[in-house]
Structures are given as structure tokens and as C-alpha cells.
Structure 1
């Protein structure tokens, strides 16, 4: 029995140990990557790709179907997201979406979001999302 223990301990000593130090994420950069990914998913009209950027607690498919799924292909191709300033405490951020509705106006919608880090994948996803004042921003005349 004692020889089996020594053989087992000898086996453990052979296994190489590797310590990986994970650097903290640059949240501004990671959130920008997340917003670019969402923008690309909407432009490609892919609800499954869209849902990859949200946590499991957020019903991204329902959100997509209610709002993004109603866009025409031409409108989806004009979809863009922009972040306001640096990430605040709690990894919350404000950003706005912009969609060219037709030749005369563009709709802008300001959002607040809380982002969380997915440790095993080393990426940032949206955990909650709210529209400022619960309504769309003023429609801007002219095009972008």
C-alpha cells in the first residue's frame, strides 16, 4: 500500500505546474469590442450572433425580435453604436444607437448598460440594458 502512495506522489511530482497570471481587462477596449460585435450582428441581421454579446439573464433574442428584427435590410446596414466617455464605476456605460430610418431622418436611442466579465472566456457581455427615460431620443433630421 505504501509503495502505491509513493508511486502516486511520484506521478504528481512529474506533472508540470503552470501558473498563468491574468491581466485585468481594459474595459473601455472590451466594451468597444462588444459594441462593434453587436453592431456587426445587427447589420448582418443575425439574432444568434446578437445574443452572444449578452449574459444569460438578459433575453437578447426577445430584445432583437422586438426591435432589431423589424428593421429593413437597408436600415440594418446603417445601424451603429457609440459609447459616451470612459466606463464608470460598476462597469456601467452609456451609449447610443443610431439607425437611418429613411432619406430624411435618423433615429437615435440613448442607453445605459451594465457590463460583466465572463471569466472563463475573458470577455465582456451586457448584463442589463435600459433606455434613458424609457423612450426614444428625438429623431434627427438630415442624414449621417
Structure 2
């Protein structure tokens, strides 16, 4: 619920919470303080869950997950447009990259096509670091 208008709504909202939400878990945020931000509110709510974060790197490909949901952003249906979904996702990725990032990705793609075989992850990582380091050195000088 979001209330707006002239005048304090604090007493009205407190009465609403007391009468209708007393049996339910609810959050009351005094957002009239300038130091209260959405980020702080969400962080406090996240902390209240007390999640245990466990890193599980499987390095397996996202085969099922890639097409599991419809992309409303791209306007695609997961059941009927698998290839278009991949292409549109790559277009969004490409558009989000800076010019330098595009050039690095282009060089890595050329490396892949020159070999005409798959590149192991750590070889790709090593080449990426080398290319990025070289670009930084060129920009400095």
C-alpha cells in the first residue's frame, strides 16, 4: 500500500496495522527520515532472513535454465523461439558492452575461430587477461 496526500498518515497507518495486520507479519518503515533509503530497507530485510550462502561452482552449462522462462524484455516465448531467444540475448549483451569490451570479445572470438575447436576455460581466462592487460598498457602510453 502506498498512501499520499497532505497531512500526516502515521496514526491512520498505525491503526490499520493494529486492526488488520496484528496476526500477520508486516514491516512498518518510517521513511520520512532522510537517512532511510530503499537500499537500507531491503538490506535489513535480507539480513532478517539469515541466509547461509554456499558457493557451488559446477562449471556446467546452463542447458535447461537458458530457455526456462519467457523473456518479456525481449518479447520472446520460451516454447517457440529458442534460437531467437539466444540471438536476442546476445544482442542485449553486445549492446550493454563498452567499445573496449566489444573489442576484447571480438579478439577472443577470432582466437576461437582460428583454432576451430573449443577453448578450455582457463585458456580463455588467460587470453582474456593478456588482451585486457595489453589494452590497458596501450591506453596508458
TM-score, structure 2 normalization? 0.22
TM-score, structure 1 normalization? 0.21
Greater C-alpha radius of gyration: 2
